[in-house]
Amino acid sequence: MPLEDLIGPNKFIGNLVREWPLGIDPLAEGDDHLRGVKNVLRNSFPTVNQARYPASFVLPPAGESEEKAGALEVAVGTDAQRPAAPSNGALRWNTEKNALEHRKGAQWSVIDPTTAPGDMIAAGANGVLEKVTPSGVGQVPLWNGSNVVYDYPASRGFIDGCVTENGATATRKKVNLGIFRNAANNAVIEITQVLEKDVVFPWTAGDGGGAFMPAGVVGANQTLHYVVFTKNDDGAVEWGLDTSPVGANTPSGYTFQRRIGSLVTTSGGNLPLMVQRGDLFQYASWDDLPQTVITDLPEIAVAPRTMLGVPLGVELSLQGVVNFGDGSQATSGVYMASHFMAGTLQDIQYRAYIAFPGGFVFNNHEFNDIVCSTSGQILMGRHTGDNQIAVFTYGWYDQRGQDA
């Protein structure tokens, strides 16, 4: 009768002949067949000591593999139901992430959590694979220093829009729509709702809330900086006014901040009306225009002169007009220099006197790009002629954090 050679250590399932034994074989050889089948099974599955498949396992059709039939089942459960000490390579279905995950080192890593168009798999902290989902059209995957996130592509210091504006009353200001990279350069913030706030009230969230973030009240000739920030738990975008240019008084629970502009209160502690065009901030009312009168200006400057009306704590390019006393000297002039010039005075602007009807002589010098120090100062010195000048500040160019 036909009888396979199934005895020994190197006999496996492949040694079995499907058609044997034949129906005419003697019954006395049945025990030889059984011993051979047992040996083959033990050799082929030497470590199996429990059920290989769950009770719901369905055999694939003849001629197809288990993988093709899709019949392999794994443990199912939430994050909390994960095994305490699984082996590397263990598989399970995470019902919270709706995804298959596997054990890699000391972490469970998602294999394929994509569920919607635009989803992608990325290795985040500790090399763990996670799903990354875009929240808006035009976003791309970016590395924020600890994880991969979908965000809008923007270079360091980028800012578009986010223009400050006067509010409905004298104590209210608002920030318009825009998008920018934050000061730490690890996130892009988009302002999608115009929020108007009252500066004289302590900061509160939402449209119509207070805007003043420091303790105390708004003071006279006080520099206030517009700071935009996002809420940690839901990403809501808010803004407030702070005496700190880096937002030191930002409310707890908010992060990813950036200064987008500044203002200076009047000598009476009121808010000036301002007009912003891009990076240019200008006073909208002559009544608010700050003036600095200097009566002891030497021919060679020995100290910086503070220009009133310029926000302090940040570097700005000053816009203003210099007027000379009675202009009795036809050669009246002034030396001015930015703080970058290391004290070297330059004849920045010079204009001869102008005689008006009646004999009154008036002399002025307009300048638009003198860089102030963070103390709102530039160097000034008398050229010739009158030793009294008045400086009117009518605006400034502000980087708005672009050099962060």
| Strand ranges inside 115-204, DSSP E | 120-123, 129-132, 140-143, 148-151, 159-161, 164-166, 172-175, 178-181, 188-191, 195-202
Judge if the upstream peptide bond of residue 117 is cis by omega within 30 degrees of 0. no
Predicted confidence at residue 64, as pLDDT, reads: 55
CB half-sphere exposure, 39, CA atoms < 13 A: 16
Q: What is the pLDDT of residue 207?
A: 96
Q: Would you say 188 and 154 are in contact if contact means Cβ atoms under 8 Å apart?
A: yes
| Neighbouring C-alpha atoms within 13 Å toward the C-beta of 162 | 28
Q: Report the distance separating Cα 223 and Cα 308, nearest Å.
A: 11
Look at 174-188, 236-250, 371-385 and tell me which has the smallest mean pLDDT.
371-385
Of the ranges 16-25, 38-47, 270-279, the best mean pLDDT one: 270-279
How far is Cα 387 from Cα 333, in angstroms, rounded to an integer? 10
CATH number for region 289-398: 2.60.120
CA distance linking residue 136 with residue 306, whole number of Å? 46
**Between residues 145 and 170, the one the model is more confident about:** 170
- In whole angstroms, what is the distance from residue 203 CA to residue 5 CA? 88
Q: Which pLDDT band, with edges at 50, 70 and 90, does 360 fall under?
A: very low
Q: Which amino acid is at 193?
A: Q
pLDDT band at 303, cuts 50/70/90?
A: low
The band of 395, judged by pLDDT with boundaries at 50, 70 and 90, is very high
What lies within 8 Å, CB to CB, of 24 at 6+ separation is 1
Task: Report the alpha-carbon angle 56-61-62, nearest 5.
Answer: 130
pLDDT, the chain, mean: 79
Residue carrying structure tokens 């502009």: 261
CA 192 to CA 173: how far, in whole Å? 17
Report whether pLDDT(343) > 70.
no
What is the C-alpha separation between 75 and 318, in angstroms, rounded?
Answer: 68
Answer yes or no: is pLDDT of 358 > 60: no
Cα dihedral 20, 24, 29, 34 sign: positive
Q: How confident is the model at residue 362 (pLDDT cuts 50, 70, 90)?
A: very low
More confident residue, 90 or 166: 166
Least confident of 111-115, 290-294, 360-364: 360-364
390 or 194, which is more confident?
194
- Lowest-confidence pick of 18-27, 148-157, 241-250: 148-157
Bridge partners, residue 293, by sequence = 390
For position 357, what pLDDT does the model report?
43
Q: Quick check: 166 pLDDT over 50?
A: yes
Distance CA 40, CA 22 (A): 19
Any idea where the domains of the chain sit in the sequence? 1-50, 75-151, 161-277, 289-398
Taking CA 191 as the corner, what is the angle to CA 189 and CA 197, rounded to the nearest 5 degrees?
125
pLDDT at 63 over 80: no
Q: Is the pLDDT of residue 377 over 70?
A: yes
Instruction: Specify the pLDDT at position 83.
Output: 83
C-alpha dihedral (232, 233, 239, 241), degrees to nearest 10: -60
What tens digit of pLDDT does each residue of 122-159 get? Answer: 777 667 777 788 877 777 787 777 778 777 777 788 89
CA-nearest of 312, 272, 278, 305 to 290 is 272
Q: What is the model's pTM?
A: 0.62
Alpha helices in 4-92 (DSSP H): 30-44, 66-69
CB atoms closer than 10 angstroms to residue 144: 15
**Dist. CA 196–CA 205, nearest whole Å:** 11
* Residues 282/290, Cβ–Cβ less than 8 Å: no
Beta partners for residue 263, in sequence order: 224
Q: Is the pLDDT of residue 404 over 80?
A: no
Which two tokens mark 4? 């396979």
CA distance 73 to 68: 13
Cα angle, residue 263 at apex, residues 261 and 264 outer, rounded to 5° = 155
Q: How confident is the model at residue 365 (pLDDT cuts 50, 70, 90)?
A: low
